[in-house]
Amino acid sequence: MDDLFDLDAVGQAEAVRAGRVSPRELAEAAIARIEAHDGEINAVVHRRFERALAEIDALPKEAPFRGVPTLLKDLGWSMAGEPYRAGSHVLDEVEVAQDGYGVTKLRRAGFVVLGRTNTPELGTAITTEPKAFGPTRNPYDTGYSPGGSSGGSAAAVAAGMVPVAAGGDGGGSIRIPASVCGLVGLKPSRGRVSYGPSAGEAWAGFSISGMLCRTVRDSAATLDVIAGMMPGDPYGAPAWPRTLAEEVGADPGRLRIGFLTRHPSGSVPADPDLRAAVTGAARLLESLGHDVEEGGPVALAEEDFALHFGTVVAVHVAADLRDIGRWRGKPVELDELETRNRILGATGRELGAVDYVASRDWIDGFRRRMAAWWESFDLLLTPSLGVAPFPLGWLPADDVSMARGRTNHAVAFSSPVNATGQPAISLPLHRTAAGLPVGVQLVAAAGREDVLIRIASQIEAAHPFRHTAIRHATGS
């Protein structure tokens, strides 16, 4: 059955429809894969194997992904009757009453949910090392981080446990793990995927749900499944003219693309692997007939961005802690949290409504200043992650000043796109000398995931992605 792990989700679904494999065989093979390899990786923190197998016979016969196994990030993807811990023990007493819309859509599409994946506490770190569940390890080198906050989902896909897994992105949390785990990670436009029915938005709209995948066609087809405005949502992204799956392989036309090998603020240390990744991608794009030139939005250099982004996040963390206290029936004490979230929660409680609104207003202006650049360009090319792949422990748990500085560097290219609500995709186009993946990010104008899928599929065809962690895990 090892050849199944070479198939992406679309390929596995096709194999089921053709009768080459049954949904039960797919699920059992994925379960065996998890049991064989997750002891080393620690990606799956909750397993629901028996329940998943019991649900297979009820799968809709015409579902497009009937029988394809998947995993859910243990943050933002609520599932009725299952635990929801968000990387923390403060949620141990919370019981989930209903599926989120994203889970409902995945299950209707025929996906078989095998469990939930590890995440940093409350999703506020760029590495997945929660004290509650221990660190998740990168399948390419188990001494390295798989990134965060969707690190468990990324590690599971990179190791071939499942072809796709659900994640979320509030400051780079899909693109960062995709970058260091050698995956395709698409952050959708703001409002593209509903946070209902339990919430209208997350982190003032900075955060959005999405999928970690190995192929562009999986990224397109799975976003087709989970996308769509639902009743009561505060806003929605503009509709595409056709499905994203139909954009795979479509001619992107001749695009004007700007690229950055260094952050325009000058405050982010340069790394030779990041420069090599971007310059290599720029040359590839130029060879494909696109107009490529160095440069990007001037607004990226604005020093006040980190302050206002941080203000919004801190206030929302404080509000989340209040809500958790209500769910479990007793307030969350700050000393129950890891140091990072203890400080975020305390800061958020101290900030006033005027501070919060002022930062929201500043971000609104920043969004307009950023958007102006896309009036002349189609895409921006940057590193996905502002630092090289890093080992476990690189983000110190108790040295808050060092952790904050390293985090700010790491998210320098990704978090501004969360603030603007634009779609962005990370593609695995480079490896370090040690064989660790390094991704590049392409950012499109708001609502234009279709442009990203066209260009990403063109790149994938010209430069096929290598997923060597899967072969390593099978011993072949």
The maximal CA–CA distance of the chain, rounded, in angstroms, is 61
Active-site annotation holder among 173, 179, 189, 415: 173
Please report the DSSP string for 271-315 in residue order: -HHHHHHHHHHHHHHHHTT-EEEE---GGGG-TTHHHHHHHHHHH
Helices (H), 293-379: 305-328, 339-350, 353-371
Least Cα distance to 1 among 34, 47, 33 occurs for 33
Least Cα distance to 314 among 401, 399, 203 occurs for 203
For residues 210 and 422, is the Cβ–Cβ distance under 8 A?
Answer: no
Active-site annotation holder among 73, 88, 189, 209: 73
Please state, in angstroms and rounded to a whole number, the distance separating the CA atoms of residues 314 and 308: 10
- Cα dihedral 317→319→325→328 (10° resolution): -80
Please state, in angstroms and rounded to a whole number, the distance separating the CA atoms of residues 269 and 172: 18
- Cα dihedral 29→31→33→38 (10° resolution): 170
* For residue 265, cis peptide bond before it (omega within 30 degrees of 0): no
**CA distances (Å), 128 to each of 155, 220, 275, 380, in order?**
10, 26, 25, 28
Per-residue buried b or exposed e for 452-467, using 16+ beta carbons within 10 Å of the residue's own CB: bbbbbbbbbeebebeb
* For residue 197, cis peptide bond before it (omega within 30 degrees of 0): yes
Q: How far is CA 387 from the centre of its chain?
A: 17
Helices (H), 182-304: 216-226, 272-287
Active-site annotation holder among 78, 88, 149, 150: 149
Side chain identity, residue 406: R
* Catalytic-residue membership of 73: yes
Residues belonging to the active site: 73, 149, 173
